[in-house]
Structure 1
């Protein structure tokens, strides 16, 4: 589901619950809103509010961790690619075709990531991308070192490729998370109860309506923030590609 659409649904649920609570207030007998009744309702609502705050805090923290981890993995992989290219440069002229192919493949990956398009990002995990990566690795494995130094460089290059590929798959897997649907439904239900109680307790006037609207919008924005941070390769909030662009400029030099 589109993240903006999800945030809009959350906003409608919360603000609608507040308006519904305000409408119910107008029809309740006065003794239902006595001091004792309101005290009990506030205690029950406070319990739900505490649970909702804890869940929202955990979701934001988890999403932020996913975003930062993905960003660190991209930076680390970019550094490894530069190091891999320099190892091939030290190996000698026979590794030059591999360096050329490496730069071509890396440029294509940067273009895909820069598109921020979910359909294009899926190409990073496509059979064609896997075949290109394995073909490049096979080219390194097929090198025939003539000296001891070249044998060491070849072994080092193969290890670096394994590390880069592992980081790449991990990044692709981690960059497609979202709030589990059941958790999302439960959280929205809790928040709707809270906003319904706001409308039930508060007098109905323009100021209260505007405040409730702003609160509903802020809460919906929090859900949007969580969803966006959970998908750091696309959407409104995404990781910086500057390290990868800088790496691309240095490849082949």
Structure 2
């Protein structure tokens, strides 16, 4: 389910809960609306609001950490790609075909991973993606170094390809959502309770409803941002492909 759909569901849940609180207030006998009765509603709402704020903060921190991790790994991958190309260039003209293959692999990876079709994680985790990188490994193994310098460069190139494969698997694993669904369900339940409490404590007028709408939009907006950052390779807010595109521009030079 998309982050926008989840945010819309959250908005409807909390806003309807607020309206339900207003309706319940109108239906309750007057003695239920006295200060001594409303006091427990205020305290209960405050307690749940504190818990919800803590959980929301944890979810935001987790989503931001996931986003920053993927962003860092994409940058490191771009650096390794340029390093690999330079090592192959220093090896000699024998690596021309390998360098061209590297260019094609990176260009294809950029278009596939950062396209708007499907999920970035699913697009990376295919046999075709893995086979292309392994083709580079095979070409490196087929090299026949004639000098000690070439042997060192071959070893370094092989090491860089292994690092790229390692980073690829890290991206696939870490692109998974890090926020448990149960966290989100419990948070929405608490938010619905809070808004119902708002309705019970408020008069039924346009100002109250307008404030509820603004608050519900704010909460659902926060959930939307969390969902977007928690899936860094998909959606409206995703990791930039600029590092890899910049690296691609330097390949073959």
TM-score with structure 1 setting the length? 0.97
Matched, 1:16 2:16: yes
Equivalent-residue separation in structure 1 for 2:207 and 2:227 (angstroms)? 31
Equivalent-residue separation in structure 1 for 2:119 and 2:156 (angstroms)? 35
Equivalent-residue separation in structure 2 for 1:77 and 1:210 (angstroms)? 48
* Equivalent in the alignment of 1:116: 116
**Contact 1:17–1:192 (8 Å) recurs in 2:** yes
Equivalent-residue separation in structure 2 for 1:223 and 1:194 (angstroms)? 16
Equivalent-residue separation in structure 2 for 1:44 and 1:120 (angstroms)? 42
Equivalent-residue separation in structure 2 for 1:23 and 1:92 (angstroms)? 79
Shift of 1:121: 5.1
* Equivalent in the alignment of 1:199: 199
* Equivalent in the alignment of 1:236: 236
Q: Which stretches of structure 1, 4 residues or longer, exceed 3 Å deviation after superposition?
A: none
Q: Which runs of 5+ in 1 are unaligned?
A: none
* Equivalent in the alignment of 1:62: 62
Equivalent-residue separation in structure 2 for 1:183 and 1:229 (angstroms)? 16
Shift of 1:119: 4.7
Equivalent-residue separation in structure 2 for 1:134 and 1:161 (angstroms)? 9
| Structure 1 residues 85-234: aligned runs within 5 Å | 85-119=85-119, 122-177=122-177, 179-234=179-234
Equivalent-residue separation in structure 2 for 1:121 and 1:171 (angstroms)? 8
Shift of 1:167: 1.1
Shift of 1:118: 2.3
Equivalent-residue separation in structure 2 for 1:120 and 1:201 (angstroms)? 46
1:181-240 per-position Cα deviation (integer Å, ceiling 9, x unaligned): 222211111110000000110101111101101101110111111110011111010111
| Structure 1 residues 73-92: aligned runs within 5 Å | 73-92=73-92
**Contact 1:112–1:121 (8 Å) recurs in 2:** no
Equivalent-residue separation in structure 2 for 1:118 and 1:177 (angstroms)? 15
**Contact 2:62–2:179 (8 Å) recurs in 1:** no
TM-score with structure 2 setting the length? 0.97
Figure out how many residues of one structure are paired with residues of the other and give that number. 253
Shift of 1:179: 3.2
**Contact 1:73–1:167 (8 Å) recurs in 2:** yes
Q: Which runs of 5+ in 2 are unaligned?
A: none
